[in-house]
Amino acid sequence: MRIGFDVRPFLKEETGVGIYLKNLLFSLSHIDQDNEYFLFSSSLKDRFNAQKIPHFMKMSFRDFHYPVKLMNFLWYKVGWPKLDHFFKEKLDITHSPTPLILPTHGKKVVTVYDLFFMDSPYKVDRETRNTFVRGIKSSLRKADGVITISQFIKQQLLEKFSLDPNKVKVIYLGIQQDYWKDISADELEKIKKKYDLPRSFLLFVGTIEPRKNVLNLLNALKIIHEKHKKISLVIVGRRGQDYENVLEKVRVLGLENWVIFTGYIPEKELKGFYHLASLFVFPSLYEGFGLPILEAMASGLPVVTSRRAALPEIAIDAALYFNPEEQEDIAEKILIGLKDETLRKQLIHKGKGRVRDFNWRKTAEETLNFYLSIIGE
């Protein structure tokens, strides 16, 4: 079986879809010695790091000097050229990690990470809005198989589109085993000094965009400071669409000395943040899965999060929940998560148990079996 992928989602910084695709491919390379993999990358300026290429037994990798936006226009608007063309081979199946199919002569699989761009189109960037909202219906109709990362997203798909339920497969994401490993005191101290981290802090991990609801988290932090105790908030993630609004909110609330922005940081250092923090807070309004809450759980960090979208499905009883639109409720649950030692121990214990249900090898095995079912093997 010849399987094609567009690996551009983890060409540079790895977030969301990029993390999913990278871990899926590396796990497939560990379990699959029979099939042949065709990996495509393209950018005018950036070249794919050789260390980020999975070591398949049978593989062809192509890295072209074509602009990213040009390739996106040709593939998602024109439907040309076929991915097969770049390898001069007919591919049996091509898997896109986004809801938009990749042009190919073979079977087509897409992964739908979430549908936030449809539910709240003006809370995503213009390119995502114009490309995904306009193209998803046709893409799902043409796809031979659709992978979703939670039952929540599958249900949304079935409600919004006339899809055969048998065509849609839920395959959970995994989590790297390294998150269970302890980090030395020396390494933690290096990370603490490098980022000038306080002794105690709340941690948020995610791109700073409207759906992550950081503005309301800041409102809750102000309530905590006024009524109870002062504690810092560390925000780890790319400066997305909502960054300037968040900066202004910090200024208006007078929290300049209590909020730390690190920007995107390497995964190795991110693990240290989970081990140094006092509590992980995830106030997102919409998540198709919520990988950071699993990373926190595996690191032994208690989690308080939104009771929205897929988050209760993933965390079950291993997190403390709040209404993300009620800043008083967010503040109350954060304080409980900081002060109630019995609850903290319960959340840590349940979190470490829950997170063992998710691993990338299982994700890869179920995905490979799905490919085989689609081509009839």
What b-and-e string marks burial along 285-307, b requiring 16 or more CB atoms within 10 Å of the CB? Answer: bbbbbbbbbbbbbbbbbbbbbbe
- The residue-averaged pLDDT of 338-363 equals 97
Is it the case that residue 20 has pLDDT exceeding 80?
yes
- Token pair listed for 155: 């249900």
Would you say 56 and 29 are in contact if contact means Cβ atoms under 8 Å apart?
Answer: yes
The CATH homologous superfamily for domain 2-174+359-375 is Glycogen Phosphorylase B; (3.40.50.2000)
pTM for the whole structure = 0.94
Greater model confidence, 127 or 267: 267
- Helix residue spans in the chain (DSSP H): 17-31, 68-73, 83-87, 116-119, 126-128, 134-142, 151-160, 185-194, 214-227, 243-252, 267-276, 291-298, 311-315, 327-339, 341-355, 360-375
Q: Does domain 177-355 bear CATH number 3.40.50.2000?
A: yes
**60 phi/psi in degrees, rounded to 5:** -130, 125
Q: What's the CA gap between 18 and 111, in Å, rounded?
A: 12
- CATH 3.40.50.2000 maps onto the chain at 2-174+359-375, 177-355
Q: For the chain, what percent of residues have pLDDT higher than 90?
A: 85
pLDDT of 13 > 70? The answer is no
Model confidence at 86: pLDDT above 90: yes
In the structure, what pLDDT confidence band is assigned to residue 128 with cuts at 50, 70 and 90? confident
Q: What is the pLDDT of residue 124?
A: 78
For 338-349, write each residue's pLDDT tens digit.
999 999 999 999
Q: Please, are residues 361 and 93 in contact by the beta-carbon 8 Å criterion?
A: no
Q: Is the link from the previous residue into 324 a cis peptide, with omega within 30 of 0?
A: no
Cα–Cα distance measured from residue 281 to residue 329, given in angstroms and rounded to the nearest whole number: 13
The pLDDT assigned to 169 comes to 98
Q: Which segment of 67-81, 119-133, 253-267 scores lowest on mean pLDDT?
A: 119-133
> What is the mean pLDDT of the segment spanning 153-170?
95
Q: Which residues of 26-42 are buried (b: 16+ CB within 10 A; e: fewer)?
A: bbbbeebeebbbbbbbb
- Per-residue pLDDT, averaged over 108-127, amounts to 87
- Which of 16, 4, 3 has the alpha carbon at shortest distance from 237? 16
Q: Which residues pair with 260 in a beta bridge?
A: 234
Mean of pLDDT over the chain: 94
